[in-house]
Amino acid sequence: MGLTPTWVRISGVFAVPVPMSSGAYQTPRRGYLYFRIRPGAERESRRDWSQLKSVAATGQVVGFASYWVPNPSDPRGNPHHSLTVRMDGDTAPPDVYPIPFAQGIVRAGDKGDFDEAVAAELRKASH
C-alpha cells in the first residue's frame, strides 16, 4: 500500500501577493514553500501536488491555489495574508495549503487569469 503525503516542500522562484494588496506581487525570490494538507480538501491538495511534481525542474511557470490565503489566527477573520517564501534553515512548521483551484494548477500561456507580466519576471529571476 502506498503512502499518501500530508505535507509538501515546493522549491523554486516564487512571486507571492503583497499582503493586503489588490493584485500586486512581491519581487520574485528563490526559496521554498512548505505546506501541510488542507483539512477537507485532501483530494484536491494532493492533485495539485501531483501536478506540481509533474512540472518540477521543467522550467515551466505555473500558478496554483488561491491568491489570498485564509488566516485562521486573525481574530477578525481577515483572509488577506500572503504565502511565506522560506529559506534553508527555516524551522517553522508547515503552513496549511491554500485553497486549490477547481481546475488544478495553471501554466503560463493558459487561457484565464494567469498574469503574463509576473510570468516574465519569474523567468528572468530563475536564470
**What tens digit of pLDDT does each residue of 41-97 get?**
899 999 999 999 999 988 888 888 876 666 667 776 666 667 889 999 999 999 888
Instruction: Give the dihedral sign, CA 61/66/67/68.
Output: negative
The CB density around residue 33, as the number of other CB atoms within 10 Å, is 22
Give the mean model confidence (pLDDT) for residues 119-124: 86
Residue written as grid cell 517553522? 92
> Where in the chain are the domains?
7-126
Strand order across the beta sheet in which 29-36 lies: 7-14, 29-36, 95-96
Amino acid 12: pLDDT: 93
Per-residue confidence band for 32, with pLDDT thresholds at 50, 70 and 90: very high
Give the helix ranges, DSSP H, for 7-115: 42-55
- Determine contact, residues 119/107, Cβ cutoff 8 Å: no
Q: Model pTM?
A: 0.81
